[in-house]
Structure 1
Protein backbone atom coordinates (compact mmCIF):
# COMPACT_ATOMS: atom_id res chain seq x y z
CA UNK A 1 0.00 0.00 0.00
CA UNK A 2 1.24 3.45 -0.88
CA UNK A 3 2.34 5.44 2.15
CA UNK A 4 1.04 8.89 3.05
CA UNK A 5 4.51 10.36 2.63
CA UNK A 6 4.77 8.85 -0.86
CA UNK A 7 1.42 10.33 -1.87
CA UNK A 8 2.46 13.70 -0.49
CA UNK A 9 5.71 13.56 -2.48
CA UNK A 10 3.78 12.76 -5.66
CA UNK A 11 1.38 15.67 -5.10
CA UNK A 12 4.30 17.97 -4.43
CA UNK A 13 6.05 16.81 -7.59
CA UNK A 14 2.86 17.31 -9.62
CA UNK A 15 2.43 20.83 -8.24
CA UNK A 16 6.03 21.66 -9.08
CA UNK A 17 5.58 20.33 -12.63
CA UNK A 18 2.42 22.45 -13.11
CA UNK A 19 4.24 25.58 -11.99
CA UNK A 20 7.26 24.94 -14.20
CA UNK A 21 5.02 24.13 -17.19
CA UNK A 22 2.96 27.30 -16.77
CA UNK A 23 6.05 29.42 -16.19
CA UNK A 24 7.75 27.96 -19.25
CA UNK A 25 4.89 28.95 -21.53
CA UNK A 26 4.56 32.45 -20.08
CA UNK A 27 8.29 33.17 -19.98
CA UNK A 28 8.56 32.00 -23.61
CA UNK A 29 5.75 34.34 -24.67
CA UNK A 30 6.73 37.50 -22.80
CA UNK A 31 10.09 37.00 -21.17
CA UNK A 32 11.07 36.91 -17.52
CA UNK A 33 10.46 40.60 -16.83
CA UNK A 34 7.04 40.57 -18.45
CA UNK A 35 5.52 37.84 -16.29
CA UNK A 36 4.30 38.10 -12.69
CA UNK A 37 4.02 35.30 -10.18
CA UNK A 38 0.26 35.83 -9.85
CA UNK A 39 -0.38 34.91 -13.48
CA UNK A 40 1.92 31.91 -13.21
CA UNK A 41 -0.07 30.67 -10.22
CA UNK A 42 -3.34 31.24 -12.07
CA UNK A 43 -2.12 29.47 -15.22
CA UNK A 44 -0.86 26.53 -13.16
CA UNK A 45 -4.14 26.24 -11.24
CA UNK A 46 -2.46 26.26 -7.83
CA UNK A 47 -2.38 28.61 -4.86
CA UNK A 48 0.19 31.31 -4.24
CA UNK A 49 1.20 29.42 -1.11
CA UNK A 50 1.95 26.38 -3.25
CA UNK A 51 4.31 28.46 -5.36
CA UNK A 52 6.31 29.60 -2.35
CA UNK A 53 6.27 26.13 -0.87
CA UNK A 54 8.04 24.86 -3.98
CA UNK A 55 10.24 27.83 -4.85
CA UNK A 56 11.91 30.63 -2.91
CA UNK A 57 10.87 33.27 -5.41
CA UNK A 58 10.28 33.97 -9.09
CA UNK A 59 13.98 33.66 -9.88
CA UNK A 60 14.13 30.23 -8.27
CA UNK A 61 11.17 29.15 -10.42
CA UNK A 62 12.90 30.56 -13.49
CA UNK A 63 16.02 28.55 -12.61
CA UNK A 64 13.92 25.37 -12.53
CA UNK A 65 12.35 26.34 -15.87
CA UNK A 66 15.77 26.84 -17.46
CA UNK A 67 16.79 23.39 -16.22
CA UNK A 68 13.63 21.85 -17.70
CA UNK A 69 14.25 23.38 -21.13
CA UNK A 70 17.91 22.31 -21.06
CA UNK A 71 16.91 18.79 -20.06
CA UNK A 72 14.43 18.51 -22.94
CA UNK A 73 17.00 19.67 -25.49
CA UNK A 74 19.65 17.28 -24.18
CA UNK A 75 17.17 14.38 -24.11
CA UNK A 76 16.13 15.05 -27.70
CA UNK A 77 19.71 15.25 -28.97
CA UNK A 78 20.86 12.21 -27.02
CA UNK A 79 17.99 9.86 -27.87
CA UNK A 80 16.88 11.07 -31.30
CA UNK A 81 20.08 12.40 -32.88
CA UNK A 82 23.25 10.96 -31.35
CA UNK A 83 21.79 7.48 -30.93
CA UNK A 84 20.64 7.25 -34.55
CA UNK A 85 23.62 8.73 -36.42
CA UNK A 86 25.53 6.59 -38.92
CA UNK A 87 28.91 7.03 -37.19
CA UNK A 88 30.41 8.85 -34.18
CA UNK A 89 31.69 11.85 -36.14
CA UNK A 90 28.38 12.31 -37.91
CA UNK A 91 26.69 12.02 -34.52
CA UNK A 92 28.63 15.04 -33.27
CA UNK A 93 27.90 17.04 -36.42
CA UNK A 94 24.21 16.16 -36.34
CA UNK A 95 24.13 16.93 -32.63
CA UNK A 96 25.63 20.37 -33.20
CA UNK A 97 23.04 21.19 -35.86
CA UNK A 98 20.24 19.85 -33.67
CA UNK A 99 21.47 22.02 -30.81
CA UNK A 100 21.26 25.14 -32.95
CA UNK A 101 17.91 24.08 -34.42
CA UNK A 102 16.50 23.65 -30.90
CA UNK A 103 16.70 27.40 -30.45
CA UNK A 104 14.23 28.03 -33.25
CA UNK A 105 11.65 27.17 -30.58
CA UNK A 106 10.50 30.30 -28.69
CA UNK A 107 10.91 28.82 -25.21
CA UNK A 108 14.48 27.68 -25.84
CA UNK A 109 15.61 30.91 -27.46
CA UNK A 110 13.95 33.37 -25.11
CA UNK A 111 14.39 31.47 -21.86
CA UNK A 112 17.86 29.98 -22.35
CA UNK A 113 19.61 32.53 -24.53
CA UNK A 114 17.94 35.90 -24.11
CA UNK A 115 16.88 35.86 -20.44
CA UNK A 116 18.83 33.22 -18.51
CA UNK A 117 22.34 34.75 -18.67
CA UNK A 118 21.06 38.06 -17.31
CA UNK A 119 18.51 36.75 -14.80
CA UNK A 120 20.57 33.91 -13.34
CA UNK A 121 24.02 35.31 -14.01
CA UNK A 122 26.62 33.96 -16.39
CA UNK A 123 28.10 31.51 -13.88
CA UNK A 124 24.77 29.80 -13.07
CA UNK A 125 23.67 29.76 -16.73
CA UNK A 126 26.93 28.05 -17.67
CA UNK A 127 26.61 25.61 -14.77
CA UNK A 128 23.16 24.47 -15.90
CA UNK A 129 24.40 23.99 -19.45
CA UNK A 130 27.28 21.87 -18.21
CA UNK A 131 25.03 19.78 -15.96
CA UNK A 132 22.85 18.81 -18.90
CA UNK A 133 25.05 18.88 -21.99
CA UNK A 134 28.61 18.12 -20.97
CA UNK A 135 27.99 14.43 -20.36
CA UNK A 136 26.50 13.90 -23.82
CA UNK A 137 29.38 15.74 -25.50
CA UNK A 138 31.95 13.78 -23.50
CA UNK A 139 30.35 10.45 -24.44
CA UNK A 140 30.19 11.41 -28.12
CA UNK A 141 33.85 12.47 -28.19
CA UNK A 142 34.91 9.29 -26.43
CA UNK A 143 32.96 7.23 -28.98
CA UNK A 144 34.65 9.02 -31.89
CA UNK A 145 38.10 8.41 -30.38
CA UNK A 146 37.31 4.77 -29.58
CA UNK A 147 36.28 4.27 -33.22
CA UNK A 148 39.61 5.71 -34.37
CA UNK A 149 37.97 8.67 -36.10
CA UNK A 150 39.46 11.35 -33.85
CA UNK A 151 43.07 11.61 -32.78
CA UNK A 152 43.27 10.45 -29.14
CA UNK A 153 43.59 13.38 -26.72
CA UNK A 154 42.28 14.31 -23.24
CA UNK A 155 38.49 14.43 -23.50
CA UNK A 156 37.38 16.64 -20.55
CA UNK A 157 39.05 19.89 -21.72
CA UNK A 158 37.96 19.22 -25.29
CA UNK A 159 34.36 18.67 -24.16
CA UNK A 160 34.38 22.00 -22.32
CA UNK A 161 35.76 23.80 -25.37
CA UNK A 162 33.15 22.24 -27.64
CA UNK A 163 30.31 23.10 -25.25
CA UNK A 164 31.58 26.68 -25.13
CA UNK A 165 31.64 26.81 -28.93
CA UNK A 166 28.08 25.48 -29.11
CA UNK A 167 26.83 28.06 -26.60
CA UNK A 168 28.61 30.93 -28.37
CA UNK A 169 27.19 29.80 -31.72
CA UNK A 170 23.66 29.68 -30.28
CA UNK A 171 24.03 33.13 -28.68
CA UNK A 172 25.33 34.56 -31.95
CA UNK A 173 22.29 33.21 -33.79
CA UNK A 174 19.88 34.52 -31.15
CA UNK A 175 21.22 38.06 -31.43
CA UNK A 176 21.71 38.09 -35.22
CA UNK A 177 19.79 40.32 -37.61
CA UNK A 178 19.35 37.30 -39.91
CA UNK A 179 19.06 34.25 -37.59
CA UNK A 180 18.44 31.77 -40.41
CA UNK A 181 21.57 32.69 -42.36
CA UNK A 182 23.63 32.99 -39.19
CA UNK A 183 22.49 29.56 -38.01
CA UNK A 184 23.73 28.05 -41.27
CA UNK A 185 27.07 29.83 -40.90
CA UNK A 186 27.47 28.71 -37.29
CA UNK A 187 26.60 25.09 -38.15
CA UNK A 188 29.23 25.06 -40.88
CA UNK A 189 31.82 26.58 -38.53
CA UNK A 190 31.11 23.90 -35.93
CA UNK A 191 31.49 21.16 -38.55
CA UNK A 192 34.87 22.61 -39.58
CA UNK A 193 35.87 22.62 -35.92
CA UNK A 194 34.97 18.94 -35.60
CA UNK A 195 36.76 18.08 -38.85
CA UNK A 196 39.91 19.48 -37.26
CA UNK A 197 39.77 16.66 -34.71
CA UNK A 198 39.87 13.91 -37.35
CA UNK A 199 42.78 11.49 -37.24
CA UNK A 200 44.72 12.48 -40.35
CA UNK A 201 46.48 9.10 -40.43
CA UNK A 202 43.19 7.28 -40.81
CA UNK A 203 42.69 5.94 -44.36
Structure 2
Protein backbone atom coordinates (compact mmCIF):
# COMPACT_ATOMS: atom_id res chain seq x y z
CA UNK A 1 0.00 0.00 0.00
CA UNK A 2 2.81 2.41 0.90
CA UNK A 3 4.56 1.77 -2.43
CA UNK A 4 1.29 2.25 -4.31
CA UNK A 5 0.63 5.57 -2.58
CA UNK A 6 4.19 6.74 -3.16
CA UNK A 7 4.10 5.83 -6.88
CA UNK A 8 0.76 7.57 -7.31
CA UNK A 9 1.94 10.65 -5.44
CA UNK A 10 5.09 10.75 -7.58
CA UNK A 11 3.05 10.79 -10.79
CA UNK A 12 0.85 13.59 -9.48
CA UNK A 13 3.72 15.66 -8.06
CA UNK A 14 5.54 15.42 -11.40
CA UNK A 15 2.42 16.25 -13.43
CA UNK A 16 1.02 19.10 -11.32
CA UNK A 17 3.66 20.03 -8.77
CA UNK A 18 3.57 19.81 -5.00
CA UNK A 19 1.32 22.82 -4.40
CA UNK A 20 -1.33 21.72 -6.89
CA UNK A 21 -1.42 18.11 -5.71
CA UNK A 22 -3.87 17.43 -2.91
CA UNK A 23 -4.14 14.43 -0.64
CA UNK A 24 -7.72 13.83 -1.91
CA UNK A 25 -6.29 13.67 -5.45
CA UNK A 26 -3.65 11.14 -4.34
CA UNK A 27 -6.32 9.04 -2.59
CA UNK A 28 -8.64 9.12 -5.61
CA UNK A 29 -5.88 8.30 -8.09
CA UNK A 30 -4.57 5.46 -5.92
CA UNK A 31 -8.08 4.13 -5.34
CA UNK A 32 -7.69 4.00 -1.57
CA UNK A 33 -9.30 5.65 1.43
CA UNK A 34 -8.01 8.73 3.22
CA UNK A 35 -7.52 6.48 6.22
CA UNK A 36 -5.15 4.30 4.22
CA UNK A 37 -3.13 7.35 3.21
CA UNK A 38 -2.95 8.70 6.75
CA UNK A 39 -2.08 5.28 8.13
CA UNK A 40 1.19 5.46 6.15
CA UNK A 41 1.79 9.22 5.98
CA UNK A 42 0.77 11.87 8.51
CA UNK A 43 0.46 14.59 5.85
CA UNK A 44 1.20 15.58 2.26
CA UNK A 45 4.73 16.70 3.10
CA UNK A 46 5.51 13.25 4.50
CA UNK A 47 4.42 11.51 1.32
CA UNK A 48 6.42 14.05 -0.70
CA UNK A 49 9.46 13.29 1.43
CA UNK A 50 8.99 9.56 0.77
CA UNK A 51 8.91 10.30 -2.97
CA UNK A 52 12.09 12.40 -2.72
CA UNK A 53 13.82 9.70 -0.65
CA UNK A 54 12.93 7.07 -3.28
CA UNK A 55 14.13 9.28 -6.13
CA UNK A 56 17.38 10.07 -4.35
CA UNK A 57 17.96 6.38 -3.69
CA UNK A 58 17.27 5.53 -7.34
CA UNK A 59 19.92 8.03 -8.45
CA UNK A 60 22.37 6.66 -5.88
CA UNK A 61 21.66 3.10 -7.04
CA UNK A 62 22.37 4.10 -10.66
CA UNK A 63 25.67 5.64 -9.62
CA UNK A 64 26.63 2.58 -7.58
CA UNK A 65 25.72 0.30 -10.51
CA UNK A 66 28.28 2.11 -12.68
CA UNK A 67 31.06 1.09 -10.32
CA UNK A 68 33.36 -1.79 -11.23
CA UNK A 69 36.13 -3.06 -8.94
CA UNK A 70 38.67 -3.24 -11.76
CA UNK A 71 38.40 0.50 -12.48
CA UNK A 72 40.74 3.09 -11.05
CA UNK A 73 39.21 5.48 -8.53
CA UNK A 74 39.28 8.29 -11.09
CA UNK A 75 37.51 6.13 -13.67
CA UNK A 76 34.88 5.25 -11.07
CA UNK A 77 34.33 8.96 -10.38
CA UNK A 78 33.92 9.63 -14.10
CA UNK A 79 31.53 6.69 -14.49
CA UNK A 80 29.54 7.85 -11.47
CA UNK A 81 29.29 11.38 -12.83
CA UNK A 82 27.94 10.11 -16.13
CA UNK A 83 25.54 7.76 -14.32
CA UNK A 84 24.24 10.71 -12.30
CA UNK A 85 23.56 12.81 -15.38
CA UNK A 86 21.80 9.90 -17.08
CA UNK A 87 19.76 9.00 -13.97
CA UNK A 88 18.59 12.58 -13.59
CA UNK A 89 17.06 12.44 -17.09
CA UNK A 90 14.20 10.37 -15.64
CA UNK A 91 10.99 12.32 -16.17
CA UNK A 92 10.28 14.64 -13.26
CA UNK A 93 13.41 13.81 -11.29
CA UNK A 94 15.02 17.25 -11.64
CA UNK A 95 11.78 18.89 -10.56
CA UNK A 96 11.40 16.61 -7.54
CA UNK A 97 15.01 16.61 -6.31
CA UNK A 98 16.41 19.96 -7.36
CA UNK A 99 13.49 22.36 -7.53
CA UNK A 100 10.58 21.31 -5.36
CA UNK A 101 12.51 19.20 -2.86
CA UNK A 102 14.46 22.14 -1.41
CA UNK A 103 11.41 24.42 -1.62
CA UNK A 104 9.05 22.01 0.15
CA UNK A 105 11.34 20.18 2.55
CA UNK A 106 13.98 22.85 3.07
CA UNK A 107 17.66 22.77 2.28
CA UNK A 108 18.63 21.10 5.56
CA UNK A 109 16.32 18.12 5.01
CA UNK A 110 17.51 17.81 1.40
CA UNK A 111 21.14 17.84 2.54
CA UNK A 112 20.30 15.12 5.06
CA UNK A 113 18.71 13.00 2.30
CA UNK A 114 21.63 13.67 -0.05
CA UNK A 115 24.13 12.76 2.68
CA UNK A 116 22.57 9.29 2.96
CA UNK A 117 22.64 8.72 -0.76
CA UNK A 118 24.79 10.41 -3.40
CA UNK A 119 27.01 12.63 -1.28
CA UNK A 120 28.28 9.72 0.78
CA UNK A 121 29.43 7.78 -2.27
CA UNK A 122 30.91 10.93 -3.86
CA UNK A 123 33.01 11.57 -0.76
CA UNK A 124 34.19 7.96 -0.69
CA UNK A 125 35.10 8.14 -4.38
CA UNK A 126 37.00 11.38 -3.93
CA UNK A 127 38.86 10.01 -0.92
CA UNK A 128 39.80 6.84 -2.83
CA UNK A 129 41.06 8.88 -5.78
CA UNK A 130 43.15 11.05 -3.46
CA UNK A 131 44.50 7.99 -1.63
CA UNK A 132 45.49 6.44 -4.98
CA UNK A 133 47.22 9.71 -5.82
CA UNK A 134 45.00 10.27 -8.85
CA UNK A 135 43.54 13.53 -7.50
CA UNK A 136 45.15 16.44 -5.71
CA UNK A 137 44.58 16.43 -1.98
CA UNK A 138 41.81 18.91 -1.29
CA UNK A 139 39.33 19.32 1.57
CA UNK A 140 36.80 16.54 0.90
CA UNK A 141 33.70 18.29 2.23
CA UNK A 142 34.32 21.47 0.24
CA UNK A 143 35.22 19.55 -2.91
CA UNK A 144 32.17 17.27 -2.65
CA UNK A 145 29.91 20.28 -2.09
CA UNK A 146 31.26 22.14 -5.13
CA UNK A 147 31.08 19.08 -7.36
CA UNK A 148 27.53 18.34 -6.17
CA UNK A 149 26.52 21.86 -7.18
CA UNK A 150 28.10 21.32 -10.59
CA UNK A 151 26.30 17.99 -11.03
CA UNK A 152 22.97 19.52 -10.04
CA UNK A 153 23.40 22.36 -12.55
CA UNK A 154 24.39 19.83 -15.20
CA UNK A 155 21.21 17.84 -14.53
CA UNK A 156 19.11 21.01 -14.80
CA UNK A 157 20.82 21.95 -18.06
CA UNK A 158 20.08 18.52 -19.53
CA UNK A 159 16.46 18.76 -18.35
CA UNK A 160 16.23 22.08 -20.18
CA UNK A 161 17.48 20.56 -23.43
CA UNK A 162 21.27 20.63 -23.35
CA UNK A 163 22.85 17.50 -24.81
CA UNK A 164 23.83 15.11 -22.01
CA UNK A 165 26.89 14.08 -24.03
CA UNK A 166 28.16 17.68 -23.98
CA UNK A 167 27.55 17.97 -20.26
CA UNK A 168 29.36 14.70 -19.53
CA UNK A 169 32.40 15.75 -21.62
CA UNK A 170 32.70 19.00 -19.66
CA UNK A 171 32.32 17.23 -16.30
CA UNK A 172 34.98 14.74 -17.35
CA UNK A 173 37.41 17.52 -18.24
CA UNK A 174 36.77 19.30 -14.94
CA UNK A 175 37.42 16.10 -12.99
CA UNK A 176 40.56 15.43 -15.03
CA UNK A 177 41.65 18.99 -14.19
CA UNK A 178 41.70 17.92 -10.54
CA UNK A 179 44.21 15.18 -11.35
CA UNK A 180 47.40 15.09 -9.34
CA UNK A 181 50.07 16.44 -11.73
CA UNK A 182 52.83 14.77 -9.70
CA UNK A 183 51.41 11.31 -10.35
CA UNK A 184 50.59 11.93 -14.00
CA UNK A 185 47.15 10.57 -13.13
CA UNK A 186 45.24 8.97 -15.94
CA UNK A 187 41.97 7.13 -15.50
Please name the residue that 2:135 is paired with.
Answer: 150
What displacement does 1:85 show? Answer: 6.8
Q: Contact 2:62–2:87 (CA<8 Å) still a contact in 1? A: no
Equivalent position to 1:31, from 8, 13, 17: 17
The reply to whether residue 110 of structure 1 matches residue 92 of structure 2 is no
RMSD of the TM alignment (CA)?
A: 2.3
Query: Any idea what SS the aligned residue of 1:180 has?
Result: coil
Q: Are the structure 2 counterparts of residues 20 and 85 from structure 1 closer, same or farther at C-alpha, using a change threshold of 3 Å?
A: farther
Q: Report how far residue 190 of structure 1 moved.
A: 1.9
Structure 2 residues not aligned, in runs of 5+: none
Bigger shift: 134-143 or 157-166?
157-166
Which residue matches 1:83?
Answer: 68
Report how many residues are paired. Answer: 184
Larger radius of gyration: 1
Deviation at 1:27, TM superposition (A): 2.0
Mapped to 1, the partners of 2:106 and 2:113 lie a distance apart of: 11
| Post-superposition offset of 1:77 | 0.9
TM-score by structure 1 length?
A: 0.78
- Structure 2 residue 86 is matched with structure 1 residue 101: yes
1:65 lines up with 2:47 in the alignment: no
Runs of 5+ consecutive residues of structure 1 not aligned to the other structure: 1-14
CA separation in 1, counterparts of 2:80 and 2:42?
Answer: 35
What residue in structure 1 maps to residue 39 of structure 2?
53
TM-score, normalised with respect to structure 2:
0.84
Contact 1:29 1:106 in 2 (8 A): no
Q: Structure 1 stretches (4+) deviating beyond 6 angstroms? A: none
For the residues of structure 2 that align with 1:36 and 1:109, how far apart are their CA atoms? Answer: 21
CA distance change for structure 1 residues 56 and 85 in 2, over 3 Å: closer, same or farther?
A: farther
Determine the structure 1 residue equivalent to 2:120: 135
User: How many Å apart are 1:186 and its aligned residue?
Assistant: 3.1
1:76 CA drift (Å)? 1.6
Tell whether the 8 Å contact from 1:70 to 1:129 is kept in structure 2 after alignment.
Answer: yes
* CA distance in structure 2 between the aligned counterparts of 1:100 and 1:90, rounded to whole angstroms: 16
In the alignment, is residue 180 of structure 1 matched against residue 132 of structure 2? no
Residue number in structure 2 paired with 1:10 = none
Give the helix-richer structure, 1 or 2.
Answer: 1
Deviates more, 1:191-200 or 1:108-117: 108-117
CA contact 1:85–1:91 (8 Å) conserved in 2: no
Matched, 1:190 2:148: no
Q: 1:133 to 1:62 in 2, by over 3 A?
A: same
Match of 1:12 in 2: none
Deviates more, 1:114-123 or 1:141-150: 114-123
| Counterparts of 2:3 and 2:114, CA distance in 1 | 20
